[in-house]
C-alpha cells in the first residue's frame, strides 16, 4: 500500500513509498483511510524537530488526523462492523487497566504511543487501531469533517477541560490557524466575548473567524493589539488569552494583554529559538496563571463529536485544500494565502 513516510532524520526526507499492509491484531480494527490532515506538528517534524524524550522511529508513516471506513475487524472486536465510518484518538498500545486508562485518559497511560511520530500513522491506505481508540462518526458528519475531529478535540480540551470560561469573560485567541479557529468556536459556545488576532497576511483566516463567531478581529501587525484588548476591557486586560502560535513575540503580547490574576492558555508547539523570559516577570508580578494544554481524552472526543453533530462546531469551512498522497510535496509546501487545513487522501 501507499504511505507518506519520513525516511531520514533532519529537514525534509519525505516520500510516498510502498509498504506492507497492516493486519488487525486482537481487539483492533483495520481502517481504510479516506482523509488525513496535515497538522502544524507534522510541519515541525518535516522541519527536523524531534522531542528530546522520544527520537523519531525512522522510517515511519506520518499523520494523526484521520477519518476512514472499517475494512476489517480483528478477533474480539464487538463495537464495529465493516463499512462503519470512523475517526479515532491518536493513541495505540495503552494498557486499558491503569488509572489513566480507567479514567479515559488513554494518552497518558505509561504504555501509550502516538501514531504519526512514535509509530506508523495515518498517511497511508490503511491503519490498524485499537477498538477502544476508535469512534463512529455521527451520520451528519462527513468523512472530510471527520479528519478534523482530532484538532477539534485539542481545542475542546484546552477550552472546556483545562479552564472555566464564563459568559461574562473576555477571551482573546492569538493565531487564526486551524487550532485558533476551533478554540474560538468552543469559547463562543461558552458564551464569552471573543477577540481574534493574527497578522494581516492571514486576512482570509480572520474573515472566517468573523463568520465563526469572533466579536472582534485584529491584524496584529497593523495595530497595537495589546491596547485594543485593553480598550475592550475597560483597561484591565483579558480574562483569558489562548496562545495558538508558538511565536516568541506573540507569547510576550499574550502576557501583556492578560488581566491581573488572569490566565494564559498555551497550546502551541514551537521549534523556534527565543526567550520570553522578560515577559515572565510581568506574569509573576500580576499573579497570572499559565495553563499548558496538550492532547485530549476519550471524554473530550465524545463532547467534540456531539458538538460537531449539533452543528455548534464548524470544521467544514476549515478545509481549504485536498491533495493525493503522491502529491505530498505540494501539500506540505502549500502556502496559499487562503490556506487553513490541508487534507491528504489516497
Q: Interface with Zn ion by CB under 5 A: which range of 105-113, 165-173, 176-184, 298-306? A: 105-113
By CB under 5 A, the count of residues binding Zn ion is: 6
Which 227-286 residues touch Zn ion, going by CB under 5 A? none
Q: CB of 247 within 8 A of CB of 177?
A: no
In terms of CB distance, is 109 or 174 closer to Zn ion? 109
- Dmax over CA atoms of the chain, in Å, equals 62
Question: Binding residue for Zn ion (CB under 5 A) from 1, 19, 43, 98?
Answer: 98
Question: Binding residue for Zn ion (CB under 5 A) from 109, 171, 179, 305?
Answer: 109
Which 197-236 residues touch Zn ion, going by CB under 5 A? none
Least gap, CB of 184 to Zn ion (angstroms): 17
Least gap, CB of 326 to Zn ion (angstroms): 22
In terms of CB distance, is 106 or 195 closer to Zn ion? 106
In terms of CB distance, is 186 or 218 closer to Zn ion? 186
Q: Interface with Zn ion by CB under 5 A: which range of 109-117, 187-195, 241-249, 322-330? A: 109-117
In terms of CB distance, is 94 or 301 closer to Zn ion? 94
In terms of CB distance, is 77 or 182 closer to Zn ion? 182
Question: Binding residue for Zn ion (CB under 5 A) from 95, 223, 261, 284?
Answer: 95
Q: Is 40 exposed, middle or buried (0-12, 13-18, 19+ CB in 10 A)?
A: middle
x/- site string to Zn ion, residues 33 to 62, per CB under 5 A?
------x-----------------------
Residue 193 to residue 208: CA distance in whole angstroms: 17
DSSP string, 195-236: EEEE-GGGHHHHHHHHHTT-SEEEETTTS-HHHHHHHTTTTS
Question: Binding residue for Zn ion (CB under 5 A) from 101, 147, 155, 238?
Answer: 101
In terms of CB distance, is 73 or 90 closer to Zn ion? 90
In terms of CB distance, is 90 or 173 closer to Zn ion? 90
Residue 291 to residue 132: CA distance in whole angstroms: 29
Pairing of strands 85-88, 134-136: antiparallel
Q: Is 182 a binder of Zn ion (CB under 5 A)?
A: no
Rounded-to-10 torsion of CA 17, 118, 45, 137: 80
What cell was used for 19?
509498504
HSE-up of 218 (CA within 13 Å, CB side)?
19
What cell was used for 95?
494498557
Residue 227 to residue 265: CA distance in whole angstroms: 20
Interface residue list for Zn ion (CB under 5 A): 39, 94-95, 98, 101, 109
Amino acid at each position: 500500500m501507499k504511505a507518506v513516510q519520513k525516511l531520514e532524520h533532519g529537514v525534509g526526507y519525505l516520500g510516498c513509498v510502498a509498504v506492507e499492509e497492516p493486519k488487525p491484531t486482537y481487539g483492533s480494527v483495520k481502517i481504510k483511510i479516506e482523509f488525513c490532515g496535515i497538522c502544524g506538528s507534522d510541519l515541525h517534524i518535516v522541519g527536523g524537530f524531534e522531542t528530546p524524550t522520544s527520537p523519531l522511529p525512522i522510517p515511519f508513516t506520518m499523520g494523526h488526523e484521520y477519518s476512514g471506513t472499517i475494512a476489517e475487524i480483528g478477533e474480539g472486536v464487538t463495537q464495529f462492523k465493516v463499512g462503519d465510518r470512523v475517526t479515532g484518538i491518536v493513541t495505540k498500545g495503552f494498557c486499558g487497566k491503569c488509572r489513566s486508562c480507567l479514567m479515559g485518559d488513554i494518552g497518558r497511560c505509561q504504555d501509550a504511543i502516538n501514531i504519526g511520530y512514535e509509530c506508523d500513522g495515518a498517511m497511508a491506505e490503511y491503519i490498524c487501531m485499537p477498538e477502544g481508540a476508535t469512534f463512529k462518526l455521527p451520520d451528519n458528519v462527513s468523512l472530510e469533517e471527520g479528519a478534523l475531529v482530532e484538532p477539534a478535540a485539542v481545542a475542546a480540551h484546552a477550552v472546556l477541560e483545562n479552564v472555566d470560561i464564563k459568559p461574562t469573560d473576555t477571551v482573546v485567541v492569538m493565531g487564526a490557524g486551524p487550532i485558533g479557529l476551533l478554540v474560538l468556536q468552543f469559547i463562543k459556545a461558552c458564551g464569552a466575548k471573543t477577540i481574534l488576532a493574527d497578522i494581516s497576511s492571514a486576512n482570509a483566516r480572520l474573515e472566517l473567524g468573523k463568520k465563526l463567531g469572533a466579536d472582534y478581529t485584529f491584524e496584529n501587525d497593523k495595530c497595537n493589539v495589546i491596547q485594543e484588548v485593553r480598550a475592550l476591557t475597560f483597561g484591565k486586560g483579558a480574562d483569558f488569552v489562548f496562545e495558538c502560535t508558538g511565536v516568541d513575540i506573540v507569547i510576550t503580547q499574550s502576557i501583556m494583554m492578560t488581566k491581573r490574576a488572569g490566565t494564559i492558555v498555551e497550546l502551541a508547539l514551537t521549534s523556534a529559538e527565543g526567550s520570553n523570559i522578560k515577559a515572565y516577570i510581568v506574569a509573576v508580578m500580576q499573579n497570572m496563571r499559565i495553563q499548558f494544554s496538550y492532547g485530549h481524552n476519550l471524554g473530550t472526543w465524545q463532547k467534540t463529536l456531539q458538538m460537531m453533530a449539533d452543528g455548534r462546531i464548524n470544521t467544514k469551512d476549515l478545509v481549504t485544500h485536498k491533495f493525493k498522497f503522491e502529491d505530498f510535496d505540494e501539500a506540505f509546501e502549500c502556502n496559499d494565502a487562503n490556506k487553513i487545513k490541508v487534507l491528504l487522501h489516497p
